[in-house]
Amino acid sequence: MPVMRLDGFTPERVYYEPGILGYPLGRTLHERYRALSVPMIEIENHNRIPELRARPEADFARMKRYLVLGVRKSLTHTKNAKTSDFLVPYTSSGCSAMCLYCYLVCTYFTSAYLRVFVNREAMMAKMKRKAEKDQRHYVFEIGSNSDLVLENIVTGNLPWTIGEFAGAPFGHLTLPTKFHMVDELMGLDHGGRTTIRMSLNPEDIIRRVELGTSPLAGRMEALVRLYEAGYPVGILVAPVILVPGWQDMYRALFKTMAENLPEELLRSAPLELIFMTYSRTHESINAAAFPVAATFCSRELMRPGGRGKYRYRAEERGPAEEFLRQSLAELLPASPIAYIC
């Protein structure tokens, strides 16, 4: 197994399905945390951990310090129409960071902690088979369920993943990240077959809302390193959050990008801008777990959008989009806008 870094995340306890011991990665992780005297708790199913389900919402941040190890059973690909052809359930779900809007909370509720699935070979084989069978350069989005750069500091999966696809006859991978830890991605033969999309936001929003993620400067530096290492890259400004003073913040962000990112990078990196959505689930968990930080979202600017979700009202969002488009045209004229949604 590859050498794995341990400095980023040592869990407070590990829950594991015994089935992980049938896989090399499962055995490596089990042995590592046992040797570190991390409490190891056997579970039947990573989807049903009764003692964690019973914990109150106020324990959300505490549970983010746990790690769950399992075997992924469902490998179903979902068709997608934005930056990829398929959303792929890959080697993890959830994350140890705590962005207060994290969309995964709508799916996993308080169980949005990091779960690592050790049967990576099966997930990789399914993608390769699909692309080869249809002889298509399908784009597989492998990071829609977690942050794979963060997961990599636990598993070392990313260099393996990138290397596997570098030589595959068909297919392309893409993943977003809010983290800077890309050392292990340098010097790899990636074949230009994995796109890494760096998610940026004003530093004030990162500190107040994207708890536990990398600072803006670190993310931009990592983006430049990836670009210089020949990876196809993209930039997400996501989510756009309409906090008081947001206009100045986003203009300052665009200026910072213009000053710190090479023009060629900006020219080649499609920009995705996504307005924040929020939900009753977020409100409830954030109020219990982060009572001070939770005030960042003004419900007056939002309208119900079905299934307990909120979106910015058209009268807020329309002018905001116009403002962002004008600011981009002025400050980042070389950047191609893939979409604003």
For ligand SF4, the binding residues (CB under 6 A) are: 95, 97-99, 102, 104, 146-147, 178, 213
The answer to whether 97 and 213 are in contact (CB under 8 A) is yes
**Measuring CA to CA, how many Å separate 268 from each of 195, 219, 252?**
12, 17, 21
Cβ closest to ligand SF4, residue 99 vs residue 297: 99
CB of 285 to ligand SF4, least distance (A): 12
Cβ closest to ligand SF4, residue 147 vs residue 184: 147
**Measuring CA to CA, how many Å separate 100 from each of 95, 231, 290?**
12, 30, 9
CB of 331 to ligand SF4, least distance (A): 25
Cβ closest to ligand SF4, residue 144 vs residue 335: 144
CB of 196 to ligand SF4, least distance (A): 14
CB of 45 to ligand SF4, least distance (A): 22
CB of 42 to ligand SF4, least distance (A): 26
The tokens describing 108, both together, are: 């996993």
Cβ closest to ligand SF4, residue 103 vs residue 231: 103
CB of 104 to ligand SF4, least distance (A): 5
Cβ closest to ligand SF4, residue 88 vs residue 102: 102
**Measuring CA to CA, how many Å separate 262 from each of 223, 239, 312?**
10, 23, 33
Cβ closest to ligand SF4, residue 100 vs residue 324: 100
Torsion, CA 234, CA 239, CA 242, CA 248, rounded to 10? -30
Distance CA 128, CA 172 (A): 10
Cβ closest to ligand SF4, residue 104 vs residue 162: 104
Return the ∠ at Cα 218 (arms to 215 and 224), rounded to 5°: 140
CB of 256 to ligand SF4, least distance (A): 20
CB of 147 to ligand SF4, least distance (A): 4
- Return the residue nearest ligand SF4 (CB atom): 95
The answer to whether 134 and 93 are in contact (CB under 8 A) is no
Q: Kind and range of the H or E element at 15?
A: strand 13-16
Residues 6 or more apart in contact with residue 337 via CB below 8 angstroms: 270, 271, 273, 325, 328
DSSP state of 231: -
Cβ closest to ligand SF4, residue 99 vs residue 301: 99
Cβ closest to ligand SF4, residue 178 vs residue 190: 178
DSSP 159-207: HHHHHHHHT-SS-EEEEEES----GGGTT---TT-EEEEEEE--HHHHH
CB of 213 to ligand SF4, least distance (A): 5
Nearest-10 crossing angle of helices 157-166, 120-134? 20
Distance CA 26, CA 32 (A): 10
